[in-house]
Amino acid sequence: GAVVSQHPSRVICKSGTSVKIECRSLDFQATTMFWYRQFPKQSLMLMATSNEGSKATYEQGVEKDKFLINHASLTLSTLTVTSAHPEDSSFYICSAGTGDLNQPQHFGDGTRLSIL
Amino acid sequence: DQQVKQNSPSLSVQEGRISILNCDYTNSMFDYFLWYKKYPAEGPTFLISISSIKDKNEDGRFTVFLNKSAKHLSLHIVPSQPGDSAVYFCAASGRGGSNYKLTFGKGTLLTVNP
């Protein structure tokens, strides 16, 4: 089945640091990738949608200068949390779609980000 | 404003019995619904989906029912097994296919007791 790899799985860093999270589709080409954030006991909240070769579309309330998304190839999207602060601590998870109408999105295993 | 609601944060069921997980939605533009299962420290895994043109979809032990007029769907697992213990997320989309954004509920933690 379709596999999505997300790296790193856990990051602990100091406030003010920028953190990059990678999302790779390992055995398929992902025309669209999604980035979600999940706070404890809450639902996965969509942050942005990225299409290969074009600018990401951000959801309302998500700062695009804070959360930089790059989708430079059909198998890789990156999310960079710039100048991270403790309130950015969360579980970030990506998903990828093939564009096939009969296929669901496939998710990575997520990244637990902790800002001290 | 929660457009997809899973009102039961947890459910406990005996092995071999039926598990019924419920989901309600408010946005009438949703056209496609999915259930994902999530174990701790892993990403959600797709279970089953249903298009709004159907009212039932079955895949092995898993059946999803959709009641469009009530804006309600449910996931039935029968018979339930201890390995089914996980958090189950209901999700909805305006269109089918993997290129459209999903709106998730908060999840229901299912515990299947041996």
Residues of B with CB under 8 A from a CB of A: 2, 4, 9, 34, 36, 41-46, 49, 89, 96-107
Tell me the pLDDT band of B97, cut-offs 50, 70 and 90.
low
Residues from chain A that touch B49, judged by Cβ atoms under 8 A, are: 104
Q: Do B98 and A108 touch (CB under 8 A)?
A: no
Which of B2, B98, B105 lies closest to A103 in CB terms?
B98
Residues from chain A that touch B41, judged by Cβ atoms under 8 A, are: 9, 109-110
Q: Say what the pLDDT of residue A1 is.
A: 60
List pLDDT tens digits, range A50-109.
988 888 999 999 999 999 999 888 899 999 999 999 999 999 999 998 777 677 889 999
Q: Say what the pLDDT of residue B108 is.
A: 97
Residues from chain B that touch A41, judged by Cβ atoms under 8 A, are: 9, 106
At A49 the three-state DSSP class reads strand
Token pair of A68 as six digits = 């930089």
Q: What is the mean pLDDT of chain B?
A: 94
Query: What is the C-alpha to C-alpha distance for residues B27 and B3, in angstroms, rounded to an integer?
Result: 6
Query: What is the C-alpha to C-alpha distance for residues A108 and B64, in angstroms, rounded to an integer?
Result: 24
Residue B68 has pLDDT above 90, yes or no: yes
